[in-house]
Amino acid sequence: VFSEIASADVYAARIIEKFRTVLATLHTHTHARQVVADASRDTMMDVIKAWATSIVEWAAKSPGEFIYYVLLCLSPFFLISAFLSWKLAKHIEAEEKRKKQRSKKKANVAETRRAKAD
């Protein structure tokens, strides 16, 4: 019985040691990820600034080509916007038609009730 308890204690000690090792590794990796994230953030800002500068230079050198490509890229969004506007207009018309029918129905019911009351 004593040997079983001793082996269980050794097993528990090994598990605790592995857990401590894993925690230390996680802490190291978290710190390393933070350092990499900080470095990549600076690099990303530099990349974005360089990209924006090249876009502005391109627009200044050939404005016609720039506008052509901007409109070419935005045209699908214009088409989607037009389609959704059309659907919204149809929905509003249908809702107005339903409201008009309901008001006519209410007026007819009210008129019928008045006629029955007389």
Residue pair 66/58 in contact by the 8 Å Cβ criterion: yes
Average pLDDT over residues 12-37: 70
Q: pLDDT of 36-89, one tens digit each?
A: 566 666 677 788 888 889 999 999 999 999 999 999 999 999 999 999 999 999
Distance of alpha carbon 71 from alpha carbon 48, whole angstroms? 22
Q: 0.85 exceeded by the pTM?
A: no
**What is the percent of the chain where pLDDT is above 90?**
44
- Residue 104: pLDDT above 80? yes
Average pLDDT over residues 19-26: 73
